[in-house]
């Protein structure tokens, strides 16, 4: 951990707790800052706030009083999920106070090599792939995963030495709150339309993602999806060294896939079908992971063996098990149509029953029609079930079943299949109509499979 003196005796407001807020508050306290934490949850129901109080950190809990900004704070560290329309943040902007997220703090203290991963889809899988490859192949030092993957970057960075690598998954929310943050290697795997309710427009969302490379120079490397014209065009203005990967054409430099063969710098590396997890999106994730791993000096045989045995990340085309020759996959993280299209690309439609549905956001599912043609069956649940059924009929899906719950959907799907078929939960919708989050939905699916097996 680098020695940082800039926060000594500086008054800093940490807005919002959860894991990142707790981590930021503790680190700033350790660095000598005069920390005030403000969290909306009442103190009596707020174990994190009580923990910070016990460590001598000031906590204001239960509401977000704008009057706090009358104090002479020099910095605000916000929880990534809190929108900039929050009254405290609006006042902070008016007062021209810097507003950061805790990944900025992590960058300031990180002694080792910082790798930053972002994109609309595949961030967690790519981050985890890279972590597994480095764990198996780094000759000096260790690898740690951090960021949006669930481990606060400002906590992980404290454990990173000069020979270590910190692979950090970064959301658009986190990237809006960076000032000097600059990874040694950055990956932007893809950019599609997402989180418009937070960013206000697609342009705002793209700007947030693109901020990952804003401080990079020729001594840092930016890895982009060369099959996305938007990224290729944006990269022309980057000061970083740019490396592309492609799943559509063979590249002389970098990772690519053509006709099912994966190459690096034009040399054959492995067959795409040998990847441990299916789907065209996972080919792209693997190409990102290969590029970063080669830049960090990992041997080809380590990369290939790790990717062959990589079993995926929970809720992201996660293999759950086999019952009487039917394979079950949990892709609950597919909260939009594009993610479901990507998941289905790894299977033969005539051998798959798709489980889909969830929160009704008012959109139609016409975009899904080409992807679901030829499906063996469609089992639908949740608020959006009837809308997806319309798309299913347009796509001439032979069997469409409606039900109330994921548990019921698993049983119905099993009844539509035979040995050699696949059952995939890939909802194309958010989970909040019936679940707290997509993880809960995926866990419910896995429990249903377990119940069926028993």
Task: Say whether 120 counts as a known binding-site residue.
Answer: yes
| Strand order across the 261-264 sheet | 255-258, 261-264, 267-271
Task: Say whether 32 counts as a known binding-site residue.
Answer: no
Pairing of strands 326-330, 318-323: antiparallel
- Asked whether the beta carbons of 186 and 215 are under 8 A apart, the reply is no
Which sign does the torsion angle of CA 70, 75, 79, 81 carry?
positive
Task: Say whether 123 counts as a known binding-site residue.
Answer: yes
Q: How far apart are CA 320 and CA 446, in angstroms?
A: 7
Which sign does the torsion angle of CA 129, 130, 136, 137 carry?
positive
The alpha carbons of the chain give a radius of gyration, in whole angstroms, of 23
Q: How far apart are CA 109 and CA 157, in angstroms?
A: 7
Q: How far apart are CA 380 and CA 385, in angstroms?
A: 5
Task: Say whether 266 counts as a known binding-site residue.
Answer: no
Q: Return the bridge partners of 197, or none.
A: none
- Asked whether the beta carbons of 169 and 146 are under 8 A apart, the reply is yes
Task: Say whether 122 counts as a known binding-site residue.
Answer: yes
Q: How far apart are CA 114 and CA 186, in angstroms?
A: 9
Tokens of 444: 């419910």
Query: What's the CA angle centered on 192, arms 191 and 198, to 5 degrees?
Result: 100
Tokens of 166: 């910190």
Q: Spell out the alpha helix ranges (H) of 299-415.
A: 300-309, 337-344, 369-372, 385-394, 406-415
The position carrying tokens 């380590």 is: 302
Nearest Cα residue to 412 out of 400, 396, 421: 400
- Asked whether the beta carbons of 144 and 128 are under 8 A apart, the reply is no
Angle at which helices 300-309 and 123-137 pack, to 10 degrees? 130
The string over 17-34, giving b where at least 16 C-beta atoms fall within 10 Å of a residue's C-beta and e elsewhere, is beebbbbbbbbbbebebb
Residue list for the binding site for ATP? 119-125
Residue list for the binding site? 119-125
């Amino acid at each position: 951990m680098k020695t940082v003196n800039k926060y000594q005796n500086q008054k800093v407001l940490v807005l919002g707790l959860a894991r990142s807020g707790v981590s930021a508050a503790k680190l700033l306290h350790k660095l000598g800052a005069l920390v005030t934490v403000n969290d909306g949850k009442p103190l009596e129901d707020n174990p994190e706030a009580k923990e910070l109080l016990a460590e001598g950190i000031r906590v204001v809990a239960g509401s977000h009083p704008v009057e706090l900004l009358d104090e002479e704070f020099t910095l605000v560290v916000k929880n990534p999920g809190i929108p900039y329309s929050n009254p405290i943040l609006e006042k902070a902007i008016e007062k021209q106070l810097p507003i950061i997220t805790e990944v900025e703090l992590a960058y300031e203290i990180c002694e080792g090599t910082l790798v930053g991963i972002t994109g609309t889809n595949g961030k967690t899988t790519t981050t985890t792939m890279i972590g597994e490859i480095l764990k198996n192949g780094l000759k000096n030092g260790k690898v740690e995963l951090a960021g949006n993957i669930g481990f606060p970057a400002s906590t992980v960075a404290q454990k990173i030495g000069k020979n270590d690598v910190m692979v950090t998954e970064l959301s658009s929310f986190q990237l809006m709150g960076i000032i000097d943050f600059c990874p040694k290697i950055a990956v932007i795997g893809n950019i599609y339309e997402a989180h418009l309710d937070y960013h206000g427009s697609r342009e705002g969302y793209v700007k947030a993602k693109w901020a990952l490379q804003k401080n990079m120079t020729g001594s840092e490397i930016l890895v982009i999806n060369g099959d996305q014209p938007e990224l290729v065009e944006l990269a022309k203005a980057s000061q970083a060294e740019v490396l592309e990967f492609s799943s559509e054409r063979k590249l002389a430099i970098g990772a690519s896939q053509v006709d099912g063969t994966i190459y690096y710098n034009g040399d054959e590396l492995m067959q795409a079908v040998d990847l441990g997890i299916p789907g065209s999106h996972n080919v792209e994730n693997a190409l990102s992971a290969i590029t970063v791993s080669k830049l960090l000096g990992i041997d080809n045989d380590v990369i290939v063996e790790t990717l062959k045995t990589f079993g995926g990340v929970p809720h992201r085309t996660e293999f759950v098990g086999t019952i009487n020759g039917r394979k079950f996959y949990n892709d609950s993280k597919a909260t939009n149509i594009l993610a479901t299209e990507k998941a289905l690309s790894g299977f033969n439609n005539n051998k798959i029953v798709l489980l889909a549905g969830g929160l009704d956001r008012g959109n139609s599912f016409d975009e899904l029609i080409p992807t679901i043609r030829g499906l063996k069956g469609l089992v639908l649940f949740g608020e959006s079930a009837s809308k997806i059924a319309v798309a299913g009929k347009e796509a001439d899906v032979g069997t469409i079943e409606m039900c109330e719950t994921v548990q019921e959907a698993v049983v119905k799907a099993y009844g539509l299949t035979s040995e050699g078929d696949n059952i995939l939960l890939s909802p194309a919708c958010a989970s909040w109509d019936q679940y707290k989050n997509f993880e809960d939905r995926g866990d419910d699916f896995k429990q249903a499979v377990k119940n069926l097996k028993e």
